[in-house]
Structure 1
């Protein structure tokens, strides 16, 4: 029974990492659990400092009562990335910058992003020309590599943009000191998707998720709104 409880709590934690901010009701639906069971695990994760609450500030009318609680993961929720490895990588990059200059770190970041783009290019291109489909393919590929990524459409009636969210980053501790890694990764996403993307938030910068804004439609003076090719 204890093993089963721990496994379920891990599933709740992983769901929050991937889809947060997320409500207890959404988690119950996705995991096929009762609301009471989900709240029990949420309480345990809160006590462990692995999740925190973000109040729902959406303008959608909810009737009487308090807004639904939405849960996000804290840094303590993420699997250890290897403290010794992270320290060694930071030391090596620090020395590289001191010996050669900051341009060497930028070149290293570009090399890493080029490798990332090469690894995902076939999967993304197989999705066709639709930007939304390409973003979904990229999110799936990133998740398979441990980034807990999702593609979330934005828009009321028509999808006008997509947010690529990464709930986990294997190099978060290193990127916190060398943001060039995040900048180069953003450029790789832009190259893969064929549109200019914008990084809105990063785990390395202290947010609960890395968020990349991807335009799906663009305004034109003559046509009003046009889908990107």
Structure 2
């Protein structure tokens, strides 16, 4: 996939400041905005404009049109820790309807109905077992892709991000002061997981095992956040046994 900057250079941009390139360019630009929001989750207008090479007036015009069409929604940016003066910046994210048009929630109704049946007939334990089996194949494929990642949890997280991206999760890993974090900008089962968090819990357990240390899930798309964010504490990898601890904080 070509990056947004390259696309911006190749396609005309309808900028009200410089004079527009017509309706076709408007649609093309909005497609690129949609793709960025799908990959990055909640993003500010300034970040979108910078990534696409658009003036503040141009990106606002496109976002206003997408808001009116029901393709994006706006909310205040979540700020963890101390915050400076003034209101937080607004962030924009795709609506459920826009995600559906991107082909991100196929067969949600059938999957939800199936899990409801499993819950009714087998109880919560059956749902948990089903969720674990569903992510088992993903864990196997990711483990194979991470064979040369080494022992460092952060190096393994970076390799895992690459493996998850190839699976359609649009993931990336980064180092932060308290360790690292793994971000997934797309979740193929977000709508189903909103009702059955066991899917998120099973996925978190997989991340913990693959990274090789306990992890902490800070946010999930299923819970209404723009990105699934998993914190990887800065501490040595567990040396004994295969059991690691996972902690949920989004319920």
Give the TM-score category using the shorter length: 0.7 to 0.9
User: Would the alpha carbon gap of residues 129 and 35 (structure 1) be closer, same or farther in structure 2, given more than 3 Å must change?
Assistant: farther
Contact 1:165 1:210 in 2 (8 A): yes
| Structure 2: segments with no counterpart, 5+ residues | 1-21, 239-251
Q: Does 1:72 align with 2:93?
A: yes
Q: Does 1:113 align with 2:131?
A: no
SS state at 1:176 partner? helix
SS state at 1:182 partner? helix
SS state at 1:70 partner? strand
User: Would the alpha carbon gap of residues 176 and 66 (structure 1) be closer, same or farther in structure 2, given more than 3 Å must change?
Assistant: closer
Equivalence for 1:223:
none
SS state at 2:226 partner? coil
Equivalence for 1:224:
none
Find 2:76's aligned residue among 42, 54, 59. Answer: 54
Within a 5 Å distance, the mapping from 1:81-160 to structure 2 comes to 81-82=104-105, 85-155=107-177, 160=178
Paired positions, count: 213
User: Would the alpha carbon gap of residues 137 and 6 (structure 1) be closer, same or farther in structure 2, given more than 3 Å must change?
Assistant: farther
Per the normalisation by structure 1, the TM-score is 0.78
User: Would the alpha carbon gap of residues 31 and 127 (structure 1) be closer, same or farther in structure 2, given more than 3 Å must change?
Assistant: farther
Per the normalisation by structure 2, the TM-score is 0.72
| Structure 1: segments with no counterpart, 5+ residues | 219-226
SS state at 2:221 partner? coil
Equivalence for 2:249:
none
Aligned-pair RMSD on alpha carbons? Answer: 2.7
Equivalence for 1:190:
208
